[in-house]
Amino acid sequence: MEGKVLELATIKDSIGKRSQPVDCSPKYAAETVNFPGCSPSRCGRLISDRVVTPHEARTLRHMASRAFALTGGSGGGASILDLHSGALSKGSAFVNVYRLPEAHDLLSEDDLRLYTGVKRRVAQLVTEHFGLEGGVLHLAKPTFFSRITAAPARTVHDQYWHSHVDKETYPSFHYTSLVYLNDYGSDFTGGRFIYNDKDANRTIEPKAGRVSAFTAGWENPHQVEPVADGVRFALTVAFTCDASQAISDPAHAGAAPSGPSR
């Protein structure tokens, strides 16, 4: 309902695990039942500040920042780095970061171990919370770092603030998670995550190390409010129940994974 705002998580909160169940949309329920062990016991959202440490979040942010510094990122405020396809924002387009000579020493083996380890922990959190069988979740594309500034949008791809449903934007998604890499209120203003429910908008204030996850169907329309000042960093980690849509982790530092860039 327009005008009514409820807080799910603020920057001051220290959350072991907080959840909000919602009824699965019929379309989402009908699809996930086709994947044994991957249907949620109940749809909804969860938040935890115990899966990723603030130090790990800062390390991931620095890793992404080194890549964005190579190209300057998007000219329209919203930049991405996808370590799987190699896609890196440059102006109004993308380049393959693995084809840039200056990116040869961009990632260390320790960087990639942290990156893949964080994703495994997030997958375990999602598996346990939604009552899934072990091993049924597969990493889905796009899984990427985002950097958002207050710069005005230049293309439609920069307009990240519109309400949307992940299943419509990315049909392979079944569960979406976000790992926030810096702090609302001190590193940036604006940029809260917002669930657009019929009775109210429910907000999450990003915090370094905070993990937010949700079922990716029509039960969870959401948006990010425009960043007003500063720079907001996050890592989006998406999961699919469909093994045919799975992607692999980057093989090792400095090696381009298979598949085209986007």
Token pair for 4: 């009514």
d(CA 25, CA 42): 11
Report the candidate in 104, 121, 131 with the shortest Cα–Cα distance to residue 21: 131
Sheet with 193-196, strands from edge to edge, namely 5-9, 201-204, 193-196, 222-224
Q: Is 13 helix (H, G, I), strand (E, B) or coil?
A: coil
Report the candidate in 118, 113, 88, 111 with the shortest Cα–Cα distance to residue 179: 118
Give Cβ neighbours of residue 117 (< 8 Å, ≥ 6 apart).
none
d(CA 167, CA 221): 10
Q: Is 232 a catalytic residue?
A: yes
Token pair for 249: 């982790």
Token pair for 97: 């970061």
Q: Is 98 helix (H, G, I), strand (E, B) or coil?
A: helix
Instruction: Identify the active-site residue in 58, 147, 232, 262.
Output: 232
Active site residues: 232
